[in-house]
Amino acid sequence: MFINFRDLPGNHNLFLDYLYEFEKVKSFYGLNFRNKEEFPSKFKSISESSLTVRNELSEIVKSQYELFNPSQRTQKNISLLKDKKTLAVTTGQQLGIMCGPLYTFYKIVTAIKLSNYMSERYDEFQFVPIFWLEGDDHDFEEVRSINLIAENNEISKIIYSDGLPDEENRGSIGNIKLTNSITNFLDEINKVLRTTEFKQPLMDNLKNFYRTEKSFKQTFKKIKY
């Protein structure tokens, strides 16, 4: 199914022009993403740039995966980052509780599928998907709640509260540690979720991931992997 973004309310004209009438906005952008003929020259330019951090980058990512027993494919992708012919398909997301909006998962899937597609289409280069955890954001209000469809088919908003005043500066979201109130948050989710054969295993996993003193970064990384 194809969805035209013009049919969806709330989209800005700049975004729509970028997608469908690029000539109107081309002066603001270096490349037109729909013009695949320009891709090889851009890839070549990136690969020939004087990047000196490839080995360091690969080692940093490798160390971040040490506790996750990464698959052979993941280990290979991490190693490929050392090669100047490797380009990254990058996306990311704020560290929202319970991983935030559903489109977070769509971003991950899109990055993986696009990397595979590009690798098949452009033999001279290799492409690996990278998902960036945006942990330096300070907007607690944006990451503290989720919306679920309840048994009555109505949207139920569930909010995590750490007990601090709303105006309190908590610093980087990624470093915020969960308080005992995470138990109440999980209980509310359990009440709202429909009863299916998946509910109890899901709740067991969530309770394992979301525990007191775990940080937003730790929980997001664990549940995503």
Segments making up each domain of the chain, as ranges? 1-34, 36-134, 140-224
Reported as a single tens digit per residue, the pLDDT across 106-151 is: 999 999 999 999 999 999 999 999 999 998 988 999 999 999 999 8
Beta strands in the chain (DSSP E): 86-94, 126-134, 145-149, 155-159
Residue 118 CB contacts under 8 Å (≥ 6 apart), including other chains: 87, 89, 125, 127
What pLDDT is stored for residue 49 in this prediction?
80
Among the listed residues 81, 74, 78, 73, the one whose alpha carbon sits nearest the alpha carbon of residue 62: 78
Label residue 1 by pLDDT band (50, 70, 90): low
> What pTM did the predictor assign?
0.84
pLDDT digits (tens, 9 = 90+) for 26-53: 999 988 988 889 899 999 998 888 677 8
